[in-house]
Amino acid sequence: MISNIQNNKKITFFLLFIITFILYFYGKEIASYFDAKWIIKYPKHYIFPISKYTSLFVKWLMDEATFGIFSFRDLTRFIAWLIQQPYNLILALISKGFLQGQGQDAVEILPPLSWISVITIIVSMALYTKDKILVALVAFAFFYLVIFGQWESSMVTLSSIIIAVPVGVIIGLILGILSYKSEILERIISPILDLMQTVPVFAYLVPILVMFGFGPVSALIATIIYSMPPMVRTTLLALKSIDPQIKECGLMSGCTERQLLWKVLVPVSKPTLMVGVNQVIMLSLNMVIIASMIGAGGLGYDVLASLRRLNIGVGFETGVAIVVLAIALDRLSQAFVNIPARKRKKNISFFKKNFNIITLFIFIIVIYLLSPFLPLIKNFPENLVFNTSLFWEELVKYININYYDNLESFKVTLLTYFMLPIKRFFLGIPWPWFITILTITGWYFGKLRLAFLCLVLSLFIVVTGLWEKAMITLYLCGSSVLIASMIGIPLGVWAGVNARANKALTVFIDTLQTLPSFVYLIPVVMLFRVGDFTAMLAVILYALAPAVRYTAHGIKNINNQIVEAALICGCSPRQLLFKIKLPLALPEILLGINQTIMLALSMLVITALVGTRDLGQEVYIALTKADIGRGLVSGLCVAFISIIADRIIKSGSNKLKDKYGMI
């Protein structure tokens, strides 16, 4: 009976597959036979002018919408003003100094903190955690910034991070808590979060600029929008997974609702919340390049400017500055939360208790007072600044001159035997059939709801006339994700079974995720020319991380007893891996692939910069033509693709977990 059902399933799948192939090969013939060209290409005059209406709506919102006493724009400008104030303060403190007056009339009332002070503060924070490796890491990171002459820019970037991260964390926390309390709110917020994470930033850059003004604040807001969703998600997850007994205990102790929240639920879930904070920091630093396009300045601007001038070396050094900043901030914040709790000592004076802080304070004041007299304090001496940019340039040049032909033949092979067939496949399938398949898949994994979702979202892509670009997007992402998985999963397995490899790979992966893609995009263009292949390489590099991470996590988290049972049964290490570990880690690996897809899609806009013809390009064109509606609509299409992929894979993963009884 059961095998019968299984067989039926297999036959159905086989049939669907055959039909797909037939349609792919003979789609054109069939279409011309029935004289129904619409099967292949969605007719132009049925395209819904959604983008036009969106543009009109946004225009109306910006120019006319009012709440009676103040207009929508007044409101947004007020918010911008609110964010501007702390930002200005921090910026003045660590970067620009306190100025009075405007433009060239400005006089400096107080100078900014010296680089020595900033490093001292940060290193003291690391010292406070009592973690020697962390101290070394942080010191290394900030000295890198000084020695490579990145100090000024990195302080500008740091200022925006210092504002964006707490704001993102707090808003995320609040939204997470609210949606924990109200299921309705959770349902409303969840899809909005999806959109925030998947609509490419370029798509809403222009509306944000109009609303919040051109400058660092808009950049901050874009950063917050992009980096906040994981915080909401982890907050919700953390609160939901608290042991109900703990909650009951709080209640039985007579907590009011507020006490329960702030004294029990939030502190108890702190370790999980920190994962969210980590994500916010990483994603904020991911945004520095785009933020710099709308006036944030800082390291992002340096990367952009140097690479447009083809200054690969400087671009690389600056990119690495972003990476070390990200890693240092991340590790520091993690350590701060996990400070080994100290036994409280009683009866010590305020002075003794805060001895370290007071010393630090005095030190900083001394440095501050000295700074007008000692130029060394004000600025790190320029002749000591390190410069390796020539090395990187020469390296790329060397590879270019000596290995270009080898690389070229490698590329051509991969293009003809791997990428082009995938491209032809996606472009060849008639859209009605593709949507049918999607809907069936949705139904198989998630019944009616998912089927409906797949249907509606993919229809949206069709009626906006972006089907073909969406297919190119799929092809590009698909091939990148395939290769990224092929590289990432084995790496993840390795990290999962070998602790040392795990450590090394973590750093490698953090680097890949925070190194601005622009930094490697340009050298890759030099070695592989513009085109899909280059785009694919960039996407793979960026999207590799989750495949590795989730795989490692899945492998590591297998119940040890199961492993022991397998060993007792006489498994060789190889058998253990392939027969036990991999199958059990599969649900987790699937989630990793899911994240890989998300990242690949979010990278699309950047690949448009090397000449792809996908939705990313559509978004980019909309940006350059300042077409708000077009940008948003094509951004939505990208988001919808990722939402469809996400939902299908997640239901698949859940189905598997369910089967293994792992939920």
**What is the spatial distance between Cα 396 and Cα 523, in angstroms, rounded to a whole number?**
7
User: Does the protein bind other proteins through residue 206 (CB under 8 A)?
Assistant: yes
User: Does the protein bind other proteins through residue 74 (CB under 8 A)?
Assistant: yes
User: Does the protein bind other proteins through residue 13 (CB under 8 A)?
Assistant: no
Checking DSSP bridges between strand 98-100 and strand 107-110, what pairing results, if any?
A: antiparallel
Q: Which of 307, 471, 536, 540 binds other proteins (CB under 8 A)?
A: 307
First CA to last CA across the chain, in angstroms? 27
Residues 6+ apart with CB under 8 A from 489: 547, 548, 551, 589, 592
Q: Which of 108, 408, 564, 658 binds other proteins (CB under 8 A)?
A: 408
User: Does the protein bind other proteins through residue 28 (CB under 8 A)?
Assistant: no
In the block, residue with structure tokens 């004294």: 263
Q: Which of 26, 34, 60, 70 binds other proteins (CB under 8 A)?
A: 70
Q: Which of 13, 21, 78, 391 binds other proteins (CB under 8 A)?
A: 78
**Assigned token pair, 500:** 């040392």
Could you tell me which stretch among 45-53, 67-75, 379-387, 449-457 binds other proteins (CB under 8 A)?
67-75
CB 615 within 8 A of CB 604: yes
User: Does the protein bind other proteins through residue 81 (CB under 8 A)?
Assistant: yes
Helix or strand or coil: residue 110? strand
CB 259 within 8 A of CB 245: no
Q: Which of 239, 241, 271 is nearest to 336 (CA)?
A: 271
- Contacts to other proteins from residues 412-431, by CB under 8 A: 412, 415
Q: Which of 252, 499, 568, 663 binds other proteins (CB under 8 A)?
A: 252
| Continuous segment of H or E residues that includes residue 384 | none
Query: Residue 127: what are its φ and ψ, rounded to 5°?
Result: -60, -40
- Count the residues of the shown chain that bind other proteins, applying the rule CB under 8 A: 85
Q: Which of 301, 316, 426, 445 binds other proteins (CB under 8 A)?
A: 301
CB 329 within 8 A of CB 78: no
User: Does the protein bind other proteins through residue 261 (CB under 8 A)?
Assistant: no
Q: Spell out the alpha helix ranges (H) of 92-215.
A: 115-128, 132-147, 151-181, 183-198, 201-212
**What is the spatial distance between Cα 369 and Cα 366, in angstroms, rounded to a whole number?**
5
Q: What x-and-dash track marks residues 100-129 binding other proteins by CB under 8 A?
A: xxxxxx------------------------
Q: Which of 37, 626, 658, 662 binds other proteins (CB under 8 A)?
A: 626
Q: Which of 1, 29, 43, 344 binds other proteins (CB under 8 A)?
A: 344
**Nearest distance in Å: CB 379, other proteins:** 17
User: Does the protein bind other proteins through residue 570 (CB under 8 A)?
Assistant: no
**What is the spatial distance between Cα 641 and Cα 461, in angstroms, rounded to a whole number?**
9
Q: Which of 455, 621, 650, 654 binds other proteins (CB under 8 A)?
A: 621
CB 250 within 8 A of CB 263: yes
User: Does the protein bind other proteins through residue 438 (CB under 8 A)?
Assistant: no
- Contacts to other proteins from residues 590-619, by CB under 8 A: 607-612, 617
User: Does the protein bind other proteins through residue 66 (CB under 8 A)?
Assistant: yes
**Assigned token pair, 337:** 């939360």
Closer residue to other proteins, CB minimum distance, 62 or 139: 62
Q: How far is CA 445 from CA 273, 437, 653, in A?
A: 30, 12, 10
User: Does the protein bind other proteins through residue 89 (CB under 8 A)?
Assistant: no
Q: What x-and-dash track marks residues 510-529 binding other proteins by CB under 8 A?
A: --------x--xxx-xxx-x
**Nearest distance in Å: CB 312, other proteins:** 9
**Nearest distance in Å: CB 76, other proteins:** 10
User: Does the protein bind other proteins through residue 130 (CB under 8 A)?
Assistant: no
